[in-house]
Amino acid sequence: MSTNEIENLPYMEKYNPYQKAYLDFWKESVADIRKFWDQEARKLLWYRTWDKVLDDSNPPFYRWFVGGETNMTLNALDRWKGTYVFNKVAYYWEGEDGSRRSVSYRELYEEVNRFSKALQDFGVGPNSTVTIYLPMIPELPIAMLSVVRLGAIHSVVFSGFSAQALADRIVDAKSKVLITADAYPRRGKPVETKKTADDAVAIAAKSGVNVEHVVVVRRLGTDVPWKEGRDVWYHELMSKYSDTTYVRPEPRKGDDVLYILYTSGTTGKPKGIMHSAGGNMVYVHSVFKWNWDIRPEDVHWTMADIGWVTGHTYIVYGPLLHGATEVLYEGAIDYPKPDRPWEMVERYGVTIFYTSPTAERALRAYGDEWVDKHEMPTLRILGTVGEPINPDVWHWYNEHVGKGRCPIVDTWWMTETSAAMISPAPGIATVTLKPGSATFPLPGIVADVLDEDGKPTPPGVKGYLVIKQPWPGMPLGIWGDPERFVKVYFSRFPPYFQAGDYAVRDEEGYFWLLGRADEVLKVAGHRLGTIEMEDALLKHPAVAESLVIGMPDPTKGEVPVAAVVLKPGYKPSEELKLELIKVVRDNIGAIATPETVLFVPKVPKTRSGKIMRRLLRDILLNRQLGDATTLEDPSAVEALKAAWDEFK
């Protein structure tokens, strides 16, 4: 980007003197991204430095640190050998049932080496894929690091996903090895992970993908189904390898695949986002520092699940790349009492606390007394991620959790970006915060808001968020589907990356993120596709047509509401409704449970046969409508509205 263009960016025009330090840094970074990221990458260890910082010869398949060789675990573990960090706590783990364990960097290093060796003995090597279906226990980061150490590729599947959802991901990634646990507690009751994993393996086998090894971590000690020859206990396996086992971190090229993580998009099939061994590492390392101003004495706690990208970056790789101490919590955030998080902040002396608006809203709803009785003097920075934060929730977070003395770092980003893209960066300089705004793009990132025609919108006018230059944390592509990568992210406003979010900039250039502009929902911060849910409903023999819309919810942000047209011979009933809800849960997981299923005679569509889900949502909410003239049959809309009104 030329200096001229940078000077002309609207958010450069006005700033107060405090922001100048930040904006000057930012300006320099985007003026020459190659130079900037070259410097950032040199803060890490490489077996071999790159020949080229960025190869942009085949856009949008940008390749970073080409010719370079490194390994994430070299920087996350081996780097700390011989330093004080090796004796430091890497993870304070707390089980929902109160069990506790702390894992030092040394222990993590030893355990990862042993498990790497074990996986290697199963034939796992560079570019093999390993699916990990584990609850929030230390073995989850251990498994991820062990896979990465071998140059293999992990696909972590959220432990709340169903057998079908797990099977789909095993099949797509063609994994021969699955790592899981016997069971884990959720709200005091065991969730039988191994059973679900077995079901998934059986479903995957029908599609011709045979899982040969299932490694089972013993968490609760429950009885589990067992298949001799295929299943092996983690602890029995590990007992074969001594503390001094060493596996050399496999040299990975900068543009080799580090991991894949499935996420929902605008079509039914979840897509495997591929992140790179060099670029993701560099980006995560830099951003973690900028977001949290991370220091040796910090105790960082991302209260999220590793099964989503937030956990990959901010529980596993980010903290470990900085030798930081992280809290790993297994259970429900309000169990057994609504002050569980605040009690834990005090117990571990947490200095940086990061969670989602959904969690903030839920904890607020229990009443201020639960948080007010905790002083939490160690806290110094709060963070928020996953959805837009409502200004009143922001104020509550600031006053009651941060006691008015902790800046709130609102981080906008997505699975595809590796780490935050638009957010305050207290690790560099301060900017004045505005409740509900993620402030400015991070160094090296140029973002903009465009209208339908691809022109930047004036201040105050809503548009589509785009990223204008490549960045090291960008995906290598979609696993097995390069065309879809181009289509989803780069076809609407080429050559820019289209995020899929609505945004607006204010007079001072601050970015305000306004939620998804497509068929993606954020239900309690979890990313789900309406079309995935519609596909699930269609699997039921009674369903002829299905429609899913995200409706606003005071706690979860959004909840899915389904409408179905039944096939001839089927009649609406309470029983059928429950069956349909179950179909969605069985195909995706409990997180996707529809709020209700409405029975309608027809699904409203446009004349061209498209379901306009956002428009229908506005109709159901009695909001000012967008253009409804293209809807083919007004009576279908009326019927849907009547069914919804009755449900309310």
Binding-site ranges for ligand 6R9 (CB under 6 A): 263, 308-310, 385-388, 410-415, 438, 499-501, 513, 515-516, 522, 527
Segment (H or E) for 320: helix 318-321
Residues 6+ apart with CB under 8 A from 588: 161, 162, 164, 165, 528, 532, 533, 536
CB of 290 to ligand 6R9, least distance (A): 15
The smaller minimum CB distance to ligand 6R9, of residues 251 and 515, is found at 515
What length is written for the chain?
648
Phi, psi of 556 (to 5 degrees): -80, 0
The smaller minimum CB distance to ligand 6R9, of residues 339 and 501, is found at 501
Helices 17-31 and 33-41: crossing angle, nearest 10°? 100
CA distance readout (Å), 519 to 502, 516, 612, 647: 13, 8, 9, 23
CB of 592 to ligand 6R9, least distance (A): 14
Q: Where are the alpha helices (DSSP H) in 383-470?
A: 391-396
CB of 435 to ligand 6R9, least distance (A): 12
The smaller minimum CB distance to ligand 6R9, of residues 175 and 263, is found at 263
The smaller minimum CB distance to ligand 6R9, of residues 19 and 313, is found at 313
- 441: which 2 tokens? 């793009």
Phi, psi of 244 (to 5 degrees): -95, 5
Helix (H, G, I), strand (E, B) or coil at 531: helix
CB of 360 to ligand 6R9, least distance (A): 12
CB of 494 to ligand 6R9, least distance (A): 19
* CA 176 to the chain's CA centroid: 24
Give which of 216, 278, 291 is closest to 252, Cα–Cα: 278
* CA 15 to the chain's CA centroid: 32
Burial 275-298 (b: 16+ CB within 10 A, else e): bbbbbbbbbbbbbbbbbbbbeeeb
Angle at 274 between CA 272 and CA 276, to 5 degrees: 170
CB of 436 to ligand 6R9, least distance (A): 9
The smaller minimum CB distance to ligand 6R9, of residues 272 and 388, is found at 388
- The DSSP call for residue 426 is T
Helices 163-173 and 193-206: crossing angle, nearest 10°? 50
The smaller minimum CB distance to ligand 6R9, of residues 94 and 501, is found at 501
At 501, which amino acid appears? D
Give which of 522, 561, 270, 572 is closest to 413, Cα–Cα: 522
CB of 306 to ligand 6R9, least distance (A): 13
The smaller minimum CB distance to ligand 6R9, of residues 71 and 356, is found at 356
C-beta separation of 439 from 511 below 8 A:
yes
- 332: which 2 tokens? 């429900």
* CA 56 to the chain's CA centroid: 27
CB of 27 to ligand 6R9, least distance (A): 23
Rounded to whole angstroms, the Cα distance separating 434 from 264 reads 30
- 2: which 2 tokens? 């030329």
Helix (H, G, I), strand (E, B) or coil at 197: helix
The smaller minimum CB distance to ligand 6R9, of residues 323 and 525, is found at 525
Segment (H or E) for 284: helix 279-292
CB of 477 to ligand 6R9, least distance (A): 16
DSSP secondary structure string, 84-143? GGGGSEEEEEE-TTS-EEEEEHHHHHHHHHHHHHHHHHTT--TT-EEEEE--SSTHHHHH
The smaller minimum CB distance to ligand 6R9, of residues 317 and 412, is found at 412
The smaller minimum CB distance to ligand 6R9, of residues 273 and 562, is found at 273
CB of 339 to ligand 6R9, least distance (A): 25
CB of 258 to ligand 6R9, least distance (A): 17
- The DSSP call for residue 595 is S
CB of 389 to ligand 6R9, least distance (A): 7
The smaller minimum CB distance to ligand 6R9, of residues 316 and 499, is found at 499
The smaller minimum CB distance to ligand 6R9, of residues 154 and 527, is found at 527
CB of 414 to ligand 6R9, least distance (A): 3
The smaller minimum CB distance to ligand 6R9, of residues 220 and 389, is found at 389
Share in percent of the chain as helix, strand, coil (round to 5): 35, 25, 40
CB of 533 to ligand 6R9, least distance (A): 16
Could you tell me which residues are beta bridge partners of residue 412?
Answer: 422
CB of 599 to ligand 6R9, least distance (A): 31
The smaller minimum CB distance to ligand 6R9, of residues 309 and 581, is found at 309
Rounded to whole angstroms, the Cα distance separating 214 from 236 reads 13
The smaller minimum CB distance to ligand 6R9, of residues 183 and 521, is found at 521
